[in-house]
Structure 1
Amino acid sequence: MDQKSLYYLEKAPVPKAIMHMVIPMMLSFIATLIYNITDAFYIGKLDNTAMMAAVTLALPFSAILMALGNLFGAGAGTYVSRLLGEDNADRAKQVSSVNFWLSIFTGAIFMAICLPLLTPILQLLGARGESLVHTRDYILMFVIGAPLIIANFSLEQTVRAEGASTASMMGMLAGVIINMVLDPIFIFLLHMDIMGAALASVIGNVISVVWFIYYLQKKSTVQSVSIKDFKPNKEICKNIFKVGISAFLLDGFLAITSLLFNNFAVLYGDSIVAGVGISQRVVQIVDFISMSFSMGVVPLIAFAYSAKNHERLMKIIKKTTLYMVGITMGLSAILFVFRAQIISAFSIDSDVIAIGQIILMAQLCSTIFAGLSALFTGIFQAFGKGIQSTVMSVMRGIAFIPILILGNMLFAVNGIIWAMTISEAFACIVGLFLWLGIRKKSLLEISTKEADEPQNHTDIIVEQ
């Protein structure tokens, strides 16, 4: 195998390898955040409340497409990293090809199902009156573009799986930039309104997919999207889906919990809803950083685990935990100190400012637990432990529901505000016990293999 593709996975100093995988993800998240703000700004300029409502109503539909993409991407990505750790590039090419074509086929099936059922889907999303027409226009573009939108989410993760985090970032940024350029053209110049915003988003996904295909076919020596490598079998599908299902369920449960939380918050008035909205936007900065660590290092962990490199594996896990916890707590502390000023920058309503500070404090407390829970989930996915990763995904969603209901019954609004923090802490504890349960056995397997097959310590210093 070409050592350029594997340098950061196999031989780069651990701190350098971690930052190589994490920083491009942070930049991608920041670009996505900027795009979301810009997109909302352009649609807001149309001065049509029904259109703004349509974008909000379509969010669960977009979440389904992302979940389907992660179903393939998370499973195939971790499997590719493990195969590279085993020096099995031929199978890695088959897996990446199966990942791509199954994503396309699933998207085509999804489109065929949704097109005739568009009206019932809109009703399920809650679209009514004027917003019904705009939601239909918006979602129609995503239904037509479903195959490539799903492929975009899945390919990004497999590109990153071989350590090519910069190439992964470039693909994501290309889509975001094209989207931002096309938004005002389609919305205002061509008078396509909200359908133009959706079309720009779909084209952005197409550009990203084109880049990822180019990289995997022309630049990568260990992956492929060629139809000749599309050779699905029971082993490949099992390894993709046993991990991918956990990512799919996590996305699904996060959408459900978000919907539940908003519905309970509405019961206590607009000030609570406004406070939640402001706090979520602020905390998103910290969440993106912790997500960059928990998601970015998965290929490093998977490769080291599969290569039976115990020392490097534990160093990656320990340093990632240290960096993530340190940065998350540091940023959270700064935001906590200036919480009053931050909330005041978004609202002049005294009620919103007062309750917003409490909500922000609760959500800042949950970020550290959410980050650790995500890291545990990522470790289980990297190890190919489908049961543990699925338990974590389900736990993060299921635990929140009774905690939210019980909190509302016993402590009213305060119970709702702190429900997410308590459920994330509970999931974090479950993750710790699951990790302790598999750690000894997994590392014992590595140590046994190390004793039989001495590691090659030759250092190869190259630039990707």
Structure 2
Amino acid sequence: MENIEKMDQASLYYLEKAPVSKAIMHMVIPMMLSFIATIIYNITDAFFIGKLDNTAMMASVTLALAFSSILMALGHLFGVGAGTYVSRLLGEDNSDSAKKVCSINFWSSILTGIIFMALCLPLLSPLLHLLGAKGETLLYTRNYILVFVIGAPFVIANLSLEETVRAEGASTASMIGLISGVVINIILDPIFIFLLHLDIMGAALASVIGNIVSVVWFIYYLQRKSAVQSVSIKDFKPSKEIYKNIIKVGISAFLLDGFMVTTTLLFNNYSMLYGNSVVAGLGISQRVIQIIDFVGMGFSMGAVPLIAYSYSAKNQERLRQIIKTTVLYMIGITLGLSVILFGFRSQVIGIFSIDPEVIAIGQKILFAQLCSTIFAGLSELFTGIFQAFGTGVQSTLMSSLRGIVFIPILIFGNLLFAVNGIIWAITISEGFTCLVGLILFLGIWKKINPAHKAESPN
């Protein structure tokens, strides 16, 4: 019992007692490294496929991004909801319930993946047309997606388990799980694509195997190393209350990823109107911009367990410092990286394509997306804060708004400004969403600011 208590204290140190800057860096740096590893994989994937000198194949990978977002949405539905719930439970010193939540998260993710696979296999052809695949890209997109359909249970479980591991402050363990899968991806990519001549299907297969490796690591950690969580079937005791707490926050993450699917589908279909060069340029720019987007996500997602724990423990001073410090760090790093990428935009795009048209349109798209990075990062942080508080209304509104606003902006942008309207649609919609998030956040700031403690209902 004494050993378990020591493990609990070590696990929760960064959530509860560590200096704010140290706690933020402990949670954020491993997450950034994980994201950077993921970026390296995505870039490597695109790099190897690009070496096949097939623009249609490169466009197919871009079209398939929307499908990947569906799996991400399902993983985050359980993972984000369960993760923030676990952090709040730990703030209340309730590790028994945290174990139940973690187990429910894992087994629900696996079951959802199996159901998803059973539904998608007979509907593969309609899905391909919905994604915008046509002509030469149709077969390539089908081969890529088929592998992900079969591997859906592992992809969803990987995403959901990573969230709960990080929820207890174990950011390093979370990083190890993510990076191990990415390393496997990178090793297997050239083997499957070139040596075994599996082409685009090989890239997908390498990714799914990487997800399986990550899931195995997370299961090992939660069963053998964690003192406050478990994926054991004996802790799988579903209840209406637990699912309610998971879903009310998880739905915001689900909608965010779901609307990402919608926006990606619209982006793909509108981009296809202007040819494969625009689609390929969009795909390259999206991969490059992830370098900055994942920095914002690293801060916003990394800080969520810290925010949730302090909020549940009613430590308002620490909560206020965590939020302020996170915002300052995130804005500074995001701006710095944006300036660097802008300065080398032509060279960066040129790494992935020698087609002059792709390079030209890729630079335009990259510039527009660089302009949206600050807005996107702050929007994600506001959403994360609302998720950490367990406030389903605000977090769901933020997640929905990012997709809803984008649709009319894209449609009218295309009508009025053709391809330029499509390129700048994301920047405009992210800016608007950020403004709404700021207004919603200011509405709850009085409850966080110690100067208003006397006025707070708590």
- TM-score under structure 1 length normalisation: 0.88
Runs (5+) with no aligned partner, structure 1:
453-464
Name the CA shift for 1:23/1:402 in 2 (closer, same or farther; >3 Å): same
Corresponding residue for 2:76?
70
Q: Which residue of 1 aligns with 2:149?
A: 143
Q: Is the 8 Å Cα contact of residues 35 and 176 (structure 1) preserved in structure 2?
A: yes
Distance 1:228 1:274, change over 3 A: closer
How many Å apart are 1:195 and its aligned residue? 3.3
5 Å-filtered alignment, 1:52-451, equals 52-128=58-134, 131-267=137-273, 276-277=282-283, 279-339=285-345, 359-441=365-447, 447=453
Matched positions, count: 452
Query: Cα distance 1:194–1:352, how it changes in 2: closer, same or farther (>3 A)?
Result: closer
Greater mean deviation of Cα atoms: 401-410 or 62-71: 401-410
Are the counterparts in 2 of residues 78 and 298 from structure 1 also a CA contact under 8 Å? yes
CA distance in 1, matches of 2:281, 2:147: 32
Could you tell which deviates more after superposition, 312-321 or 179-188? Answer: 179-188
What is the Cα deviation at residue 81 of structure 1?
0.5
Q: What is the rounded CA distance, in whole Å, between the counterparts of 2:358 and 2:256 in structure 1?
A: 31
- Deviations, residues 297-334 of structure 1 (Å, cap 9, x unaligned): 11111111011110110000000000001111222233
1:40–1:352 CA distance, 2 compared to 1 (3 A): closer
Percent of counterpart pairs with the same letter? Answer: 76
- Structure 2 gaps of 5+ residues are none
Q: CA deviation at 1:449?
A: 13
Shift of 1:125: 3.1
Whole-angstrom CA distance in 2 between matches of 1:422 and 1:148? 35
Conserved in 2, the CA contact under 8 Å of 1:308 and 1:450? no
- Computed over aligned residues only, the root mean square deviation of the Cα atoms, in angstroms, reads 3.0
Distance 1:118 1:447, change over 3 A: same
> Could you tell me how far apart the structure 2 residues matched to 1:137 and 1:420 are?
29
Following the alignment from structure 1 to structure 2, what is the Cα–Cα distance between the partners of residues 133 and 346?
22
Q: What is residue 34 of structure 2 aligned with on the other side?
A: 28
1:190/1:417 CA distance change after superposition, 3 Å? closer
For residue 296 of structure 1, what is the amino acid of its counterpart?
G
Secondary structure of the structure 2 residue equivalent to 1:297: helix
Query: How far off is 1:345 after superposition?
Result: 6.8
1:79-122 CA distance string (max 9 Å, x none): 00011111110000000000001001111111222223333333
Where 1:115 maps in the other structure, the secondary structure is helix
Cα shift at 1:264: 3.7
Q: 1:405: how far off?
A: 2.6
The one-letter amino acid paired with 2:312 is S
Worse-matched range after superposition: 89-98 or 49-58: 49-58
Q: Is the 8 A contact 2:86 2:167 kept in 1?
A: yes
1-side partners of 2:349 and 2:121: how far apart?
42
Q: Post-superposition shift, 1:22?
A: 0.8
Q: Partners of 1:117 and 1:18 in 2: how far apart?
A: 44
Letter paired with 2:181: G
Q: What is the CA distance between 1:54 and its match in structure 2?
A: 4.1
C-alpha distance 365-108 of structure 1, shift in aligned 2 (>3 A): same
